[in-house]
C-alpha cells in the first residue's frame, strides 16, 4: 500500500455506556448513557455520514465482566460494557437516515446457529442496500459461556475450528441456495419464486449439521463484508482465509506494524491478494480548534475517567483478576482460553516493556490500549498520518471519549485537514459497502465463499 493512500475511518462504538472510556457518562455532554434511545444512534449515524466516515463498527460482547474482584460489582458500578443491548437491532434505523455509511456489526457465532445468523445478516443486507459487514467473533468471556449452560469457555483453538466450519455453512446459505434470478416476481404467471432456482443446503460436519434452504432471497452483497479481530496464531490463520477487513489493537506502532504485516502474509498464504485485506487499528483522537482547547478537553476527560472501570474491562479481556494485584505489580503472560491478544498487548508484545496494574489503569483510561492523539487540526492530522505510515494500516477504528462529541470534532477539524492533504475522500463511492472498499459487490475467487456460488 502506498504511503499516500486515503485513510479509511470507522467510528468504533458499542450498544452500551462509555464503551472504551468508562466513567465518561458522568460528563454532561456525553450521550452514550442514552445508548438505549434510538435517537442517540440515528443522530450519530448522521454525524458520521456528514464526516464521510466509511463505517460505524459496533463491538459486542455476550456476558459480563466479572473477573475483577471475582464478581460483576465493579463492571456494574462503572458501566464497564454493561448494561449492553443488541447491536444488530440498531442498524436498520441508522440505515434509514443515511445513504452511504457502512455498518460493521459484531456477532458471536458460538451461541447462534448458522441458519439464524445467516438470515439476520441477509435481512440487514437487504434493508441497508448492501451496507452491512460482520465482525466474526467467538467470545472470550467465561460468564457468557456459563450463561449458556457451559462450565466455561470452549477451548481457544476449538473456537476457531468451529468458526471455520460455521463460515462454510454460512457461505453455502448465502452464496449457493438461491440463483440470482430465483425471485422472478412474475405477477402475470403467478410465480414469486421459481422453485427450480432454489436449492437446499446440506451440511454434515464435526460441529454443525443442516438441511434446508436459505430463508432469504439474494441480497446485494450476499455474504456481508467480513471483519475479524484477534491475532493469535489461530486468529491469523482464520483471518488469512476469510477476512476482508481486520481490526487490530496494540500498545505501540511497532506492534501494530508487525501484526499488520503478519496478517497480510496470512492472506497471501491462502492464495489471496494481500491487497484484499484492509487493516484498521484502534486510535482515539481528541481534536479541537486550538491545541490548548484540545488539551483542556483531554484533561476534562481524564477527570471523568474511572480507573476501576478500566481495570474491570482489562480483567475481563485478559482473564486476570487484577484486583488481587498490587498496583505496582508487573503483569505476566500466561496461556489462557480467552482473548490472547489482549494479554499479549500488556505483556510480551514488547519484550522490553513492563506493564503494571497502575500503567494499565492510566493508559487505558480513555480508548483502552490504543494511543490517544490530542491536538488542533494540523497536529492531529500530523499524528494520524505518522501513525498510518509507521503501522502500515489502511484505516482507523476511532474510539470515542464522549459521544458524539469525539466524532463531531473529528468531522469538523480532522477530516477537512486530511482532505486538504489528499489523505481523505471528498465524496463516497457509490454502491454497496464492498463496492466502496473493493469495487465489487460480491466475494470473488479465490475467497472460499466464491466456491459455494450457485452454478447451473
Ligand atoms: C481489536 C479487537 C477487537 C475485538 N472486538 C471484539 C468484540 O467486539 N467482541 C468479541 O466478542 N470479541 C472481540 N475481540 C476478540 C476476538 O474476536 C477474539 O475472540 C479474541 O481476540 C481471541 O482471539 P485471539 O486469541 O486470536 O486474540 C476483539 C479482539 C481484538 C484484538
Percentage of the chain lying above the pLDDT 90 cut: 95
Q: What are phi and psi of 210, to 5 degrees?
A: -155, 140
For residues 75 and 64, the answer to whether their CB atoms sit within 8 Å is yes
CA 86 remoteness from chain centre: 14
Nearest to 443 by CA among 266, 243, 177: 243
Within 13 Å, how many C-alpha atoms sit on residue 20's CB side? 27
Q: Give 71's contacts (C-beta < 8 A, 6+ positions apart).
A: none
Estimate to the nearest angstrom the gap between the alpha carbon of 341 and the chain centroid: 15
Q: Name the residue at shortest CA distance from atom 22 of ligand 1.
A: 339
50 backbone dihedrals φ, ψ, rounded to 5°: -60, -35
Distance of CA 118 from the midpoint of ligand 1 (Å): 20
Which DSSP symbol is given to 197?
G
The confidence band for 405, taking pLDDT boundaries of 50, 70 and 90, is: very high
Q: Which atom of ligand 1 is nearest to the CA of 249?
A: 1
Residue 136 CA to ligand 1 centre (angstroms) = 9
pLDDT at 1: 47
Q: Which residues contact 260 (CB under 8 A, 6 or more apart)?
A: 248, 279, 281, 391, 392, 393
231: Cβ below 6 Å to ligand 1? Answer: yes
| Shortest-distance atom of ligand 1 to CA 62 | 11
Nearest to 239 by CA among 333, 138, 345: 138
Atom number of ligand 1 nearest to Cα 156: 25
Q: How far apart are CA 135 and CA 192, in angstroms?
A: 33
339's grid cell: 482473548
Tens of pLDDT, residue by residue over 207-239, are: 999 999 999 999 999 999 999 998 889 999 999
Q: Let me know: does 320 contact 434? Beta carbons within 8 Å.
A: no
Distance 55 CA to ligand 1 centre (A): 19
Pocket test for ligand 1, best of 62, 230, 393 (most atoms within 8 A of CB): 230
For ligand 1, atom 4, the nearest C-alpha belongs to 229
Phi, psi (degrees; rounded to nearest 5) at 141: -105, 125
What rounded mean pLDDT belongs to the chain? 96
pLDDT at 3: 54
Task: Identify whether the C-beta of residue 229 lies closer than 8 Å to the C-beta of residue 243.
Answer: no
User: How far does the centroid of ligand 1 lie from the alpha carbon of residue 137, in Å?
Assistant: 6
pLDDT(442) > 70: yes
Q: What is the pLDDT of residue 428?
A: 98
Q: Is the CB of 249 under 6 A from ligand 1?
A: yes
Q: What percent of the chain has pLDDT over 70?
A: 99
The three-state secondary structure class of 449 is: helix
**How far apart, in whole angstroms, are the C-alpha atoms of residue 345 and residue 319?**
13
Distance (angstroms) between ligand 1 centre and the Cα of 229 equals 5
Quote the Cα angle for 262-264-266, to 5°. 70
CA of 66 to the centre of ligand 1 (A): 17
* Nearest residue (CA) to ligand 1, atom 24: 230
Omega before residue 170 within 30° of 0, cis = no
Mean pLDDT across the stretch 339-364?
A: 93
Q: Is the CB of 397 under 6 A from ligand 1?
A: no
In which band, very low, low, confident or very high, does the pLDDT at 288 lie, cut at 50, 70 and 90? very high
Q: Between 337 and 368, name the one with better pLDDT.
A: 368
Q: DSSP strand E in 332-382: where?
A: 372-375
pLDDT of 154-213, one tens digit each? 999 999 999 999 999 999 999 999 999 999 999 999 999 999 999 999 999 999 999 999
Residue with cell 494540523: 378
Is the pLDDT higher at 251 or at 414?
414
Cα 144 to middle of ligand 1, angstroms:
14
pLDDT, tens digit, 9 for 90 and up, residues 264-280: 999 999 999 999 999 99
- Given the CA of residue 231, which atom of ligand 1 is nearest to it? 26
Ligand 1 atom closest to the CA of 282, numbered from 1: 1
Q: Whose CA is nearest to atom 8 of ligand 1?
A: 59
Whether 137 lines ligand 1, by a CB cut-off of 6 Å, is: yes
Q: How far apart are CA 170 and CA 201, in angstroms?
A: 10
Assign domain 8-176+209-302+369-450 one CATH number from 3.40.50.970, 1.10.1660.10, 3.40.640.10, 3.20.20.30: 3.20.20.30
Q: How far is the CA of 159 from the centre of ligand 1 (A)?
A: 12
Distance 419 CA to ligand 1 centre (A): 32
When pLDDT is cut at 50, 70 and 90, the band that residue 100 belongs to is very high
C-beta atoms surrounding 326 within 10 Å: 9
121 Cβ below 6 A of ligand 1: no
Cα 228 to ligand 1 centre (Å): 8
Quick check: 419 pLDDT over 50? yes
The pLDDT value recorded for residue 230 is 81
For the CA of 236, the closest atom of ligand 1 is 26
Query: Could you tell me the pLDDT band of residue 70, with boundaries at 50, 70 and 90?
Result: very high
Domain boundaries, the chain: 8-176+209-302+369-450
Q: Answer whether residue 112 shows pLDDT above 50.
A: yes
Amino acid at each position: 500500500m502506498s504511503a499516500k493512500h486515503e485513510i479509511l475511518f470507522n467510528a468504533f462504538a458499542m450498544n452500551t455506556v462509555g464503551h472504551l472510556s468508562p466513567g465518561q457518562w458522568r460528563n454532561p455532554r456525553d450521550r452514550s448513557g442514552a445508548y438505549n434511545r434510538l435517537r442517540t444512534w440515528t443522530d450519530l449515524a448522521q454525524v458520521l455520514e456528514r464526516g464521510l466516515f466509511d463505517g460505524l463498527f459496533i463491538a459486542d460482547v455476550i456476558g459480563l465482566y466479572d473477573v475483577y474482584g471475582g464478581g460483576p460489582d465493579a463492571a456494574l458500578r462503572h458501566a464497564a460494557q454493561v448494561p449492553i443491548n443488541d447491536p444488530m437491532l440498531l442498524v436498520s434505523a441508522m440505515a434509514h437516515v443515511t445513504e452511504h455509511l457502512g455498518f460493521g456489526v459484531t456477532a458471536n457465532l458460538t451461541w447462534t446457529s448458522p441458519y439464524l445468523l445467516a438470515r439476520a445478516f441477509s435481512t440487514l443486507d437487504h434493508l441497508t442496500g448492501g451496507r452491512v459487514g460482520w465482525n466474526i467473533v467467538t467470545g472470550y468471556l467465561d460468564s457468557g459461556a456459563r450463561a449458556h449452560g457451559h462450565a466455561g469457555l470452549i477451548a481457544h483453538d476449538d473456537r476457531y475450528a468451529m468458526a471455520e466450519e460455521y463460515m462454510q455453512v454460512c457461505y453455502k446459505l448465502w452464496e449457493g441456495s438461491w440463483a440470482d434470478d430465483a425471485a422472478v416476481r412474475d405477477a402475470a404467471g403467478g410465480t414469486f419464486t421459481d422453485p427450480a432456482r432454489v436449492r437446499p443446503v446440506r451440511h454434515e460436519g464435526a460441529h454443525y449439521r443442516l438441511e434446508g434452504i436459505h430463508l432469504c432471497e439474494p441480497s446485494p452483497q450476499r455474504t456481508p463484508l467480513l471483519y475479524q479481530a484477534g491475532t493469535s496464531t489461530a486468529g491469523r490463520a482464520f483471518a488469512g482465509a476469510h477476512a476482508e477487513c481486520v481490526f487490530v489493537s496494540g500498545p505501540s506502532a511497532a506492534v501494530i506494524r508487525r501484526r499488520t504485516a503478519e496478517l497480510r502474509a496470512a492472506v497471501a498464504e491462502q492464495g489471496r491478494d494481500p491487497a484484499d485485506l484492509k487493516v484498521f487499528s484502534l486510535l482515539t483522537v481528541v481534536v479541537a480548534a486550538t491545541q490548548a482547547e484540545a488539551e483542556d478537553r483531554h484533561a476534562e476527560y481524564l477527570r471523568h475517567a474511572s480507573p476501576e472501570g478500566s481495570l474491570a474491562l482489562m480483567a475481563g479481556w485478559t482473564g486476570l483478576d487484577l484486583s488481587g494485584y498490587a498496583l505496582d505489580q508487573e503483569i505476566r503472560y500466561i496461556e489462557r482460553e480467552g482473548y490472547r491478544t489482549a494479554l499479549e498487548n500488556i505483556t510480551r508484545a514488547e519484550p522490553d516493556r513492563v506493564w503494571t496494574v497502575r500503567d494499565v489503569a492510566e493508559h487505558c483510561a480513555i480508548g483502552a490500549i490504543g494511543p490517544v492523539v490530542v491536538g488542533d487540526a494540523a497536529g492531529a492530522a500530523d499524528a494520524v498520518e505518522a501513525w498510518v505510515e509507521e503501522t502500515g494500516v489502511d484505516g482507523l477504528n476511532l474510539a470515542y471519549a464522549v459521544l458524539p462529541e469525539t466524532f463531531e470534532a473529528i468531522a469538523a477539524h480532522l477530516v477537512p485537514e486530511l482532505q486538504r492533504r489528499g489523505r481523505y475522500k471528498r465524496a463516497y463511492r457509490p454502491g454497496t459497502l464492498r463496492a466502496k472498499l473493493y469495487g465489487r459487490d460480491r466475494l470473488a475467487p479465490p475467497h472460499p465463499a466464491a466456491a459455494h456460488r450457485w452454478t447451473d
